[in-house]
């Protein structure tokens, strides 16, 4: 009946707690109680405070784990490779991007953080805009036969695809399990709109 008291190397225990914390806070929200998290991680609540000085610090570590190094710089090179048709490039970018962010942890923690007023979202989206969406807009402008889009048009395309993840992970509505078809159709329609 007494739970065996297993002793783990600190590195390993820390990672186990962070894994549990990411899934837990994604599900329950950023101010879900640390006691419930501890139960889920299979440790006592007090132990969390050996690895993290405060709940805020633990959350910061979760943010880092979920959002850092999730954007692959290689996507930018592929996006800029004008040997490849523009439609294939944009499609490939959004297939890679949605594959990276369409997880409960990414989508739900992002939304919880946004509502809570964390700066995470603004910083992240400004970076995404500058590092990927503006280059994407430039490639569209440079593509033969396309009118140059405004950044707001690109955000519109972006939102149309991210919304698929919102329906799936936030509202838990049924959505196509494979995002590739919706992506292909949305990108094709977007480009057709820039040609007309």
Partner DNA sequence: CCCGTTGGTTTTCGCTTGATCAACAAGCGC
Partner DNA sequence: GCGCTTGTTGATCAAGCGAAAACCAACGGG
The distance of closest approach from Cβ of residue 45 to DNA in the complex, given in angstroms and rounded to an integer, is 6
Neighbour tally for 37: CB within 10 Å: 21
Cα–Cα distance for residue pair 113/123, rounded to 1 Å: 12
Q: Are 111 and 27 in contact (CB under 8 A)?
A: no
The listed partner (DNA, a copy of itself, none) that binds 127, CB under 5 to 8 Å by sort, is none
DSSP 168: I
From the list DNA, a copy of itself, none, pick the one residue 45 interacts with, judged by a Cβ distance below 5 to 8 Å according to partner type: DNA
User: Closer CB to a copy of itself, residue 129 or residue 135?
Assistant: 129
- C-alpha span between 29 and 163 (Å, rounded): 20
Q: Which is nearer to a copy of itself, 55 or 158 (CB)?
A: 158
**Residue 160: which of a copy of itself, DNA, none does it interact with, CB under 5 to 8 A by kind?**
a copy of itself
| Site stretch for a copy of itself (CB under 8 A), options 11-19, 53-61, 71-79, 146-154 | 146-154
d(CA 63, CA 105): 10
Give strand ranges (E) for 89-142: none
Q: Which stretch binds a copy of itself (CB under 8 A): 34-42, 53-61, 64-72, 169-177?
A: 169-177
Whether 79 and 89 have beta carbons less than 8 Å apart is answered as yes
* CA pseudo-torsion sign 144, 149, 155, 160: negative
According to CB under 7 A, which one of 50, 123, 185, 189 is a site residue for DNA? Answer: 50
First to last CA, the chain: 71
Return the range that interacts with DNA (CB under 7 A); candidates 48-56, 63-71, 74-82, 153-161. Answer: 48-56
Q: How far apart are CA 102 and CA 94, in angstroms?
A: 11
Q: Which does 70 bind (CB under 5 to 8 A by kind): a copy of itself, DNA, none?
A: none
Binding a copy of itself (rule: CB under 8 A), the pick from 100, 116, 141, 148 is: 116
Q: Is 31 a binder of DNA (CB under 7 A)? A: yes
Q: Measure CA 192 to chain center.
A: 28
Interaction site with a copy of itself (CB under 8 A): 29, 31, 108, 111-112, 114-117, 121-122, 125, 150, 152-153, 155-164, 166-167, 170-173, 176, 182, 185-186, 188-196
């Amino acid at each position: 009946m007494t739970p065996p008291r297993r002793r783990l190397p600190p590195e390993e225990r820390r990672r186990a707690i962070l894994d549990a914390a990411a899934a837990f806070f994604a599900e329950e929200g950023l101010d879900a109680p640390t006691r419930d998290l501890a139960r889920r991680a299979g440790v006592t609540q007090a132990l969390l405070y050996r690895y993290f000085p405060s709940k805020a610090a633990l959350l910061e570590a979760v943010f880092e784990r979920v959002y850092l190094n999730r954007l692959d710089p290689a996507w930018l090179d592929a996006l800029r490779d004008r040997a490849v048709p523009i439609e294939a490039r944009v499609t490939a970018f959004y297939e890679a991007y949605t594959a990276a962010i369409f997880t409960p942890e990414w989508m739900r923690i992002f939304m919880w953080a946004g509502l809570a007023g964390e700066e995470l979202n603004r910083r992240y989206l400004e970076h995404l805009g500058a590092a990927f969406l503006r280059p994407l807009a430039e490639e569209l402008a440079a593509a033969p036969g396309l009118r140059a889009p405004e950044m707001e048009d690109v955000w519109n395309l972006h939102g149309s695809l991210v919304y698929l993840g919102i329906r799936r992970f936030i509202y838990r509505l049924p959505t196509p399990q494979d995002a590739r078809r919706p992506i292909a159709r949305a990108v094709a329609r977007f480009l057709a709109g820039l040609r007309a």
